[in-house]
């Protein structure tokens, strides 16, 4: 499975297929990748079908591709090996130039599989019912007009606060290094079972990111009228919200199973991707 918009995707996909075929593996693919890379393999019509039939999903792309695959294959226990063709690549296991080494490591047992919880959002809106999954985060934010929105947040039916600003990010542990980090949220270890609630440009300087248990129920009600407001899942707009409407966010029963190579860790990735050198300069 590949992000076919990446210039290197087709050639690297063909190389991955050749390396796996040399190991005696049966190669499966989905239509977009098959066509772009001109593969002669068994084609599965959907990502979900592919995950159900495969023993390993090799995903060539960046974090956005990994997020899409995690959502589309929710409910599958098939491990996902990410090969980075993007920029940061927090969710991938290796870069494109280390493709062969990564596949060798998987073949020889030099890897582990991490379970990352997905989160879900549900709501009954004027435009219809919404039920969405995300691996990183849900964001409730204003539209193009630069006006504040007001959001009331309840945690397990208890009022937390009302946020006034550009919006609110509700992130999983995996998503703490995405939009939440850019908005001033904390970096959370993927093994910490918590939500991070991070306001976007809050009008009250005392508003800060709040950490709550991952098994909590979060209800976010839009209080503002006449301000265009949207719900997004992993950066993709999913619904328009109107005043008085509530979106409920909680842990999903589904998880994504990400392959990590032996010797690597979340903290190694942080130091590398965020250029944490330990230097005082």
Stretch 118-136: mean pLDDT? 96
Angle at 143 between CA 137 and CA 149, to 5 degrees: 80
**Would you name the residues annotated as active-site residues?**
63
Please give the CATH architecture assigned to the domain spanning 9-109: 3-Layer(aba) Sandwich (3.40)
Supply the pLDDT for residue 4.
93
The rounded distance, in Å, linking the Cα atoms of 57 and 3 is 13
Domain with CATH 2.60.200.30 in the chain: 118-253
Supply the pLDDT for residue 135.
98
Supply the pLDDT for residue 278.
64
Residue pair 133/74 in contact (Cβ under 8 Å)? The answer is: yes
Where is 197: in which H helix or E strand?
Answer: strand 194-200
Q: What is the DSSP letter of 96?
A: G
User: For the chain, what is the largest distance between any 2 Cα atoms, rounded to a whole number of angstroms?
Assistant: 61
The rounded distance, in Å, linking the Cα atoms of 40 and 28 is 9
Supply the pLDDT for residue 1.
95
Cα 64 to chain centroid distance, Å, stands at: 7
Give the confidence band of 281 by pLDDT, cuts at 50, 70, 90.
Answer: low
- Contacts for 203-206: CB closer than 8 Å, 24+ residues apart: 203/148, 203/164, 203/165, 204/164
Supply the pLDDT for residue 89.
86
For the whole model, what pTM was predicted? 0.93
* Percent of the chain with pLDDT strictly greater than 90: 87
Domain with CATH 3.40.50.10330 in the chain: 9-109
* Percent of the chain with pLDDT strictly greater than 70: 98
Residue 88 has pLDDT above 90, yes or no: no
Stretch 136-159: mean pLDDT? 96
| CATH code linked to domain 118-253 | 2.60.200.30
Supply the pLDDT for residue 270.
87
């Amino acid at each position: 499975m590949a992000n076919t918009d990446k210039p290197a995707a087709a050639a690297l996909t063909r190389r991955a297929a050749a390396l796996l075929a040399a190991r005696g593996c049966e190669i499966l693919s989905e239509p977009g990748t098959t066509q772009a890379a001109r593969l002669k393999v068994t084609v599965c019509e959907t990502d979900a079908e592919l995950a159900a039939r495969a023993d390993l999903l090799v995903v060539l792309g960046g974090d956005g591709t990994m997020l899409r695959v995690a959502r589309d294959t929710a409910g599958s226990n098939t491990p996902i090996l990410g090969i980075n063709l993007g920029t940061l690549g927090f969710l991938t296991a290796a870069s494109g130039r280390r493709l062969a080494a990564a596949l060798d490591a998987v073949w020889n047992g030099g890897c582990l599989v991490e379970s990352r919880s997905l989160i879900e959002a549900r709501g009954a809106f004027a435009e219809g019912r919404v039920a969405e999954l995300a691996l990183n985060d849900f964001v409730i934010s204003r539209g193009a007009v630069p006006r504040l929105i007001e959001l009331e947040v309840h945690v397990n039916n208890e009022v937390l606060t009302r946020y006034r600003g550009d919006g609110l990010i509700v992130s999983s542990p995996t998503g703490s290094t995405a939009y939440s980090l850019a908005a001033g949220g904390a970096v959370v270890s993927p093994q910490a079972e918590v939500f991070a609630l991070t306001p976007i440009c809050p009008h009250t300087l005392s508003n800060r990111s709040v950490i709550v248990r991952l098994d909590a129920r979060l209800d976010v009600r839009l209080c503002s009228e006449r301000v265009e407001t949207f719900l997004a899942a992993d950066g993709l707009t999913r619904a328009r919200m109107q005043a008085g409407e509530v979106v409920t966010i909680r842990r999903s029963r589904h998880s994504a199973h990400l392959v990590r190579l032996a010797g690597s860790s979340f903290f190694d990735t942080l130091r590398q991707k965020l250029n944490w050198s330990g230097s005082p300069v």
